[in-house]
Amino acid sequence: MTSSKNEHDFNLMDPARPRPGGRTADVTKRVHEAVLGLLMEGGDESCSFQNVARRANVERSTLYRRYPNRWAMMSDAFAAAYVDDLSFDSTGNFRDDLICHLSRVAHTLGSPLGMAMLAAGAVARLDPASRVAAGGFWEFRKNQQRGFVQAAIDRGELPPDVSLDALFAAADGPLYFRLLIIAQPVDKAWIESVVDQVWKAFCLPRRTGDSNT
């Protein structure tokens, strides 16, 4: 399974990385809550170090030590907010796993906070100095697919050399476009049509006796 060379640049968003405990965890929680609250109230422009520090009741120096810029701070808050919302138990086949995955993404990103996050991410991509940090949330989202993709490889549903970047673009890309660019609703039938296209493009021919569709 291949992925982008910048993948390890986003270790703040690594779901496998142990989260801090004690006072550090409390500070982290307050910072995340401050970022998300400000984002909902005033968009990405309100998420400055000064505003976040004031709302979270921490020193600005704390934020400067943790994050190279405000986009990295926002990406960390985004990932922490949705690490549980976007997880699910495997169904045992790739098609149904992908339907579950996209259904949860659609529900999460279709919420007011999700839409605010998408808008902030789009703005961040226009800032050359912040593209790496702003891409952290997208990289985190891609990495959440890794477990069920590897399971599909192990079952022989996907080839071992499948590109996670290409798979992410084909599966999640239409969802982001539909929600953010053309502002159209997402329903089960639409998700299943996307999954069918991904299946045809990436999955190996079914073996005899395989009941997956």
Write down the domain spans for the chain.
18-81, 94-202
Distance CA 162, CA 198 (A): 12
Neighbours of 128 (CB within 10 A): 7
Best CA proximity match to 56, nearest among 32, 25, 82, 79? 32
Of residues 175 and 113, more confidence is placed in 175
Of residues 190 and 207, more confidence is placed in 190
Name the fold adopted by 94-202: Tetracycline Repressor; domain 2 (1.10.357)
42-54 pLDDT, tens per residue?
888 899 999 999 9
Q: What is the DSSP string of 65-117?
A: HH-SSHHHHHHHHHHHHHTTTT-----SSHHHHHHHHHHHHHHHHTSHHHHHH
Residue 152 has pLDDT above 90, yes or no: yes
Asked if 151 contacts 88 with a C-beta cutoff of 8 angstroms, the reply is no
Question: How much is the pLDDT for 134?
Answer: 57
Residue 63 is encoded by which pair of tokens?
């934020």
User: Percent of the chain, pLDDT > 90?
Assistant: 41
pLDDT-wise least confident of 45-49, 59-63, 70-74, 118-122: 118-122
Segment 83-97 shows an average pLDDT of 82
Which residue's entry shows tokens 């890309």?
A: 173
pLDDT-wise least confident of 26-35, 120-129, 158-167: 120-129
- CATH 1.10.10.60 applies to domain 18-81: yes
Asked if 166 contacts 1 with a C-beta cutoff of 8 angstroms, the reply is no
Of residues 11 and 92, more confidence is placed in 92
Distance CA 95, CA 112 (A): 28
User: pLDDT class for 1, splitting at 50, 70, 90?
Assistant: low
Task: Name the CA dihedral angle for 206, 191, 141, 85, rounded to a multiple of 10 degrees.
Answer: -110
